[in-house]
Chains A and B, each alone.
Chain A
Amino acid sequence: MKFTKKYDSLLKDCIYEGEHKSGLKVIILQKNTAKKYATFSTCYGSINTEFVVPGETEVTKVIDGVAHFLEHKVFEQPDGTNAFSLFKGADVNAFTSFGVTNYLFSCTDYFYENFRQLLSYVQTPYFTEENVEKEKGIIAQEVRMYDDDPGQVCFYNCLRGLYKNHPVRTEIAGSVEEVMKTTPELLYKCYNTFYHPSNMAVICVGDIDPQKIGDAVDELITKDKPAGEIQQVFPSEPDEIVTPETEAQFEIAMPRFSLGFKDIETGGDLLRRDIVTSALLKVLVDGSSPLYERLYDGGLINGSFGGYYEYEKSFAFAEIGGESKDPKAVAQAVHDEIARVKREGIDPEAWQRAMNVLYGRYIRLMSGDVEDIGNEYMFSFHRGVDLSAYPDVWKTVTVEDGVERLNSLFVPERSSLSIVYPKK
């Protein structure tokens, strides 16, 4: 396969991009590092529970947690061994998010050998009644571990407060009950639909020879033409939230909270919206904001307070959260501050500082750990975003964009507060 080469004059690095005849996208970010990182990922995560298989007309609806269950089982090889054992001197892992499943490894030596193993094992599904049954116990323990994590519970309660139907409201691993219903047939059905190379990407970061990657892909990717498009179906989601407040109790020392804002603008120019929203969150709630200082000095927040923006093509939300002895007072203060900034306008100096921070953060990310770079790039890719365009898009963002976003996203009626209180 052939690559086109791009030179990134800001970072002084090269990017190679190519497409295999199977439709598999291959991207190599060359970096001067000892560690090399490779990811083989599919645009398939926990939210993809309804879809039309290419060639079929009916919508297939599956139980929650299948993407995550698959992530575990893809490691199982037909000879009964675990794919972990195929690698030499590497950190091998996989994870499932809302929108993607990613198989990965990093190493300093034996990279190309290991890369071949990665391509092979992900393309070798082997699911039996017996090995699926065995995995249920392991995954049930993983789910229980998350059930004991107050941060996770607080976060998902917030999402369930915001979303009525969209599957983002469900834990990535699903519930123990649903996990127990998983069958080999179901795993094969989802595997065959979503693990076609044309729904996948290979992204590598480090001191890597593109030719060797291309040769391995040519040799080891078994499909020779793209599959038809997978139609992803999402239940219709109202603009309205489900409930403005959710409470839970946990064996913890201090209450924690997530204040979510449902973004009703989805799709479109996601990178631009990410930059604008991130800058805006910084102006509103970051350590250099007047709100942060007021709440901190008033003893209402600690260093855990902060905000971020999360999105896929089909949903987006902003979350502001942390620990507080009085989460309701903090949520009220956030709403008051948003109202004040809407009234008085965004401080232009604060906006410029926030934009500078994003610029520095991008350079630090892209010159930092190869795994962080690869993961960000991979997430962006499956959202249809080219992360290397960040500096160019960044240049065009103005404070007026911030004002527009402030009015469209930070609407009190579309917010939901989730609180986890200590058990009495």
Chain B
Amino acid sequence: MKKIQLKKGIDLYLNKDGKFKTYMASVIFYRPLTREGASYGSLLTGMLKMGNRLCRTNRELNIELDKLYGAWMGCSSGKRGEEQNIRVAAETVCDEFLPTPVFDRTLELLFATAFEGGVDGKFDPDKVNQQKINLIDRIRSQINDKRYYASMRLEEIMFQGEGCGVNSIGYEEDVEKITSESLYDYYLDVINTSGISIIFTGNFDETAAEKAARRAVEPLPEREAAHTLAKIKTEVDEVKRVTDHMDVTQGKLAIGMRTGIAPAADMAWAQRVFSVIYGGGPSSKLFNNVRERLSLCYYASSWPNDLLGVLNISSGIEFQNLDAAYNEIMAQLQAMRDGDFTDEDIDIAKKEICNGYRSRLDSLEAMEGFHTAQILLGRDMTVQQAIEKIESVTRDEIIDVADRVKLDTVYFLAGKEEA
């Protein structure tokens, strides 16, 4: 990956691969995640598509994108550990596969959306109000997907008081207080003080990309920018157990555990292998025991959150099977600690992970995600190097991870009649 500092605090990354017929260009503003910033960031991403210097309305922007053979553009605000990422991205087909070229115009629209949002130097109050309503609806709609809702509640309970516990979508009561003026001030603060990464991935002309990016950041000031890494908690004071009741037909069990392993530590690779053997897929202990052997669920899986040194477990079960499922999940963890897995299990898990890494080479979005994760950790690693790290993980390291796992939070979403 080629890195070019355009200005202090503003970097351009070029990740060209001629095998693609498309490319993706993203502007990522990064800053520490705060509770207030979460709501502002989410609302801002709604407003950025409502008008900019080139297109005064959302419809005008959509029409322009349609003209570019349906170029895709997306705005989102999310978190990585304790860092907030506000991302404006565009993806389109390379000019050589289209009847008329679209490269320059796509970038014009992307950069206008990211850096020149708002019309006549402000956000229209009516549109801000509309976006506030939409955002509040989205916040409330988090209960619609019960599996997601359970994982969100788990996060809330487990990380209470920690920066990473902030829900990046925002909070209803905070959104209500935002005005069109305060939102525009926040936007100016974002574009003038946040760290900025501009990332190109796929098949594009590097010279043209650099030229367009340089022109786009020309009016922006230099800034002090640093990435935020979450503090890793290694101890659990007291296991938290919470049950909510809702009108659902299937119970959702969400368990949070802490490994305390830092994301850049060598043990983080072993943590990945551990999680795949434990609950990563159809070859895992959770799938083969909780689902296949005991028929307790349709899904039971685990996955690590590397940035936080955390392991998540999730399963959908009959209400009355809570204890049986929980006990089996814990029994399988103990089996991992006892080293009750074969060299073949390790081999299968490693192959699965490496296959995932290699597969990323085909996806613009996954490639960008891989590289932004490396940028956050302050290293420049290739997919091949990541694969070598995984392949070098040993049995003892996996058992070491299992020994570090500490139960932190057990959350259960149960039905109404269970109340």
Chain A residues close to B by CB (< 8 Å): 10-11, 32-35, 82, 84-85, 88-92, 106-110, 134-135, 137-139, 141-142, 144-145, 147-151, 250-254, 286-290, 292-293, 296-297, 299, 302-303, 323, 353-354, 356-361, 363-364, 367-370, 423
Expressed in whole angstroms, the minimum distance between the Cβ of B198 and any Cβ of chain A is 22
Evaluate contact between A10 and B97: CB separation under 8 angstroms: yes
Q: Which residues of A lie under 8 Å from residue B144 when comparing CB positions?
A: 150-151, 252-253
Decide: B248 and A360 in contact? CB cutoff 8 A: no
| A360 and B359 contact, CB distance less than 8 A | no
Contact in complex: A363, B57 (CB < 8 Å): no
Spell out B's residues near A (CB within 8 Å): 19-22, 57-59, 62-63, 65-71, 91-93, 97-98, 127, 130, 133-134, 137-138, 140-147, 246-250, 281-283, 288, 291-292, 295-298, 316-318, 348, 351-352, 354-356, 358-359, 361-363
Contact (A35, B358) CB under 8 Å given A148-B250, A251-B248, A254-B137 = yes
With A89-B351, A137-B295, A145-B298 known as contacts, the answer to whether A34 contacts B249 (CB < 8 A) is: no
B141: chain A residues at CB < 8 Å are 252-254, 323
With contacts A288-B66, A360-B69, A364-B93 known, is A369 near B362, CB below 8 A? yes
Contact check, B295 vs A287: say whether CB atoms are below 8 A apart: no
Query: Residue among A287, A288, A357 with the most chain B CB within 10 A?
Result: A288
Docked complex Cα distance between A147 and B146 (Å) = 11
B57, A293: Cβ atoms closer than 8 Å: yes
Q: A10-B97, A353-B67 are in contact. Are A88 and B19 (CB under 8 A)?
A: no
Cβ A357 vs Cβ B70 within 8 A: yes
A138 contacts which chain B residues (CB < 8 A)?
291-292, 295, 297-298
CB-CB under 8 A for A293 and B58, given A367-B22, A370-B362: yes
Which A residue's beta carbon lies closest to that of B137?
A254
Q: How far is the CA of A106 from the CA of B363 in the complex (A)?
A: 14
Pick the contact of B137: A142, A290, A293, A323 (CB < 8 A). A323
Given known contacts A33-B362, A367-B20, is B249 in contact with A148 (CB within 8 Å)? yes
Q: Are B359 and A34 in contact (CB under 8 A)?
A: yes
Which partner residue on chain A sits nearest B413 by CB separation?
A: A148
How far is the CB of B312 from the nearest CB of chain A, in Å? 18
Task: Point out the residues of chain A lying under 8 angstroms from B93, CB to CB.
Answer: 360, 363-364, 367
Set B63, B295, B298: member contacting A134, Cβ < 8 A: B295
Q: Which 8 A-B pairs give the minimum distances between C-beta atoms?
A: A360-B69, A89-B351, A253-B140, A357-B70, A137-B295, A367-B21, A84-B282, A108-B358
Q: Name the contact of A359 in the complex, choosing from B69, B281, B351 (C-beta under 8 A).
A: B69
Whether A89 contacts B355 in the complex (CB less than 8 A), given A323-B141, A363-B93, comes out as yes
Q: How far is the CA of A134 from the CA of B127 in the complex (A)?
A: 54
A85 to B342, CA, bound (A): 14
Residues of A within 8 A of B355 (CB): 89-91, 107-109
Nearest-CB residue, chain A, relative to B127: A297
- Name the contact of A363 in the complex, choosing from B21, B63, B127, B359 (C-beta under 8 A): B21
The reply to whether B362 and A34 contact each other, CB–CB distance below 8 Å, is yes
B137 neighbours in A (Cβ, 8 Å): 253-254, 302, 323
Q: In whole Å, how far is A171's beta carbon from the nearest beta carbon of chain B?
A: 14
Partner of A11, one of B21, B66, B250, B356: B21
A405 to B363, CA, bound (A): 36
CA distance A88 to B348 in the complex (A): 6
**Residues of B close to A35: CB separation below 8 A:** 358-359, 361-362
Kindly list chain A residues whose C-beta atoms are within 8 Å of the C-beta of B146: 148
Closest to B359 in A: A35
Q: For the complex, give the distance between the alpha carbons of A259 and B19 in Å.
A: 41
Q: How far is the CA of A296 from the CA of B133 in the complex (A)?
A: 11
Contacts of B295 in A (CB 8 A): 134-135, 137-138
Further 5 A-B residue pairs, CB within 8 A, beyond A90-B355, A360-B69, A364-B91 = A35-B362, A84-B282, A106-B359, A145-B147, A367-B21
- Measured CB to CB, the closest approach of chain B to A26, in angstroms, equals 23
Q: Is the CB of B133 within 8 A of A299?
A: yes
User: Is the CB–CB distance between B22 and A88 below 8 Å?
Assistant: no
A364, B102: Cα distance in complex, Å = 14
Measured in the bound complex, the distance between the Cα atoms of B363 and A254 in whole Å is 34
Whether B63 and A288, one on each chain, are in contact in the complex, defined by CB atoms closer than 8 angstroms, is yes
Give Cα A82–Cα B281 distance, bound, in whole angstroms: 13
Q: A134-B295, A145-B316 are in contact. Are A303 and B359 (CB under 8 A)?
A: no
Which of the listed residues A11, A82, A252, A360 has the most CB atoms from chain B within 10 Å of its own CB?
Answer: A360
* Contact A360 B68, beta carbon cutoff 8 Å: yes
Q: Which residues of A contact B296 (CB under 8 A)?
A: 137, 141
B145: chain A residues within 8 A (beta carbon): 149
Chain A hits for B133, CB < 8 A: 299
Most buried by A among B20, B57, B134: B134
Contact of B288 among A82, A297, A323 (CB under 8 A): A82
Q: Which residues of A contact B21 (CB under 8 A)?
A: 11, 363, 367
20 contacts between A and B (CB under 8 A): A10-B97, A33-B362, A34-B358, A34-B361, A35-B362, A88-B351, A89-B354, A107-B355, A134-B295, A145-B316, A147-B249, A149-B145, A253-B141, A286-B62, A287-B62, A296-B58, A299-B133, A354-B66, A369-B362, A423-B247
Which residues of chain A are within 8 angstroms of B19 by Cβ–Cβ distance?
A: 32-33
B25 to chain A, nearest CB (A): 15
Q: How many angstroms from the CA of A369 to the CA of B364 in the assembled complex?
A: 10
Chain B residues positioned under 8 Å from A358 (CB to CB):
70
Contact A253 B358 (CB under 8 A): no
Q: Which of B59, B71, B351 contacts A287 (CB 8 A)?
A: B59
A289: B residues at CB distance < 8 A: 59
Complex Cα distance, B247 from A147, in Å, reads 11
Q: Is the CB of A148 within 8 A of B22?
A: no
Q: In the complex the two chains form, what is the Cα distance from A290 to B57 in whole Å?
A: 12
A251 touches B67 (CB 8 A): no
Which residues from chain B contact A302 at a C-beta distance below 8 Å? 134, 137-138
Q: Report the Cα distance A110→B137, complex, angstroms.
A: 47
Q: Are the C-beta atoms of B362 and A299 separated by less than 8 Å?
A: no
A149 to B146, CA, bound (A): 8
A10, A110, A254, A356: the one contacting B66 at CB < 8 Å is A356
- Give the Cβ gap from B244 to chain A, nearest Cβ, in Å: 11
**CA distance in complex: A359, B100 (Å):** 12
**What is the distance, in angstroms, from A136's C-beta to the closest C-beta of chain B?**
8
Determine the distance from Cα of A109 to Cα of B348 in the docked complex, in whole angstroms.
12
Contact check: which of B70, B127, B283, B298 meets A356 at CB < 8 Å? B70
In the assembled complex, the CB of A361 is this many whole angstroms from the nearest CB of chain B, namely 5
A38 to chain B, nearest CB (A): 14
For B317, the chain A residues whose CB sits under 8 A away are 141
Alpha-carbon separation in the docked complex, A254 to B143 (Å): 10
Which chain B residue shows the least CB distance to A367? B21
**CB pair A297 B130 closer than 8 Å:** yes
State A135–B292 Cα separation when bound (angstroms).
Answer: 8
Chain B residues with CB under 8 Å of A297's CB are: 127, 130
Task: Tell which of B62, B143, B356 touches A251, judged by Cβ atoms closer than 8 Å.
Answer: B143
Q: Give Cα distance in the complex from A106 to B68, angstroms.
A: 32
| Residues of chain A lying within 8 A (CB to CB) of residue B59 | 287-290, 292-293
* Residues of A close to B298: CB separation below 8 A: 138-139, 141-142, 145
Does the CB pair B143–A361 fall under 8 Å? no
Which residues of chain A are within 8 angstroms of B352 by Cβ–Cβ distance? 89-91
* Contact of B58 (CB < 8 Å), options: A150, A253, A287, A423: A287
Given A292-B59, A360-B71; A252-B348 close (CB under 8 Å): no
A253 to B282, CA, bound (A): 34
Most buried by A among B58, B143, B355: B355
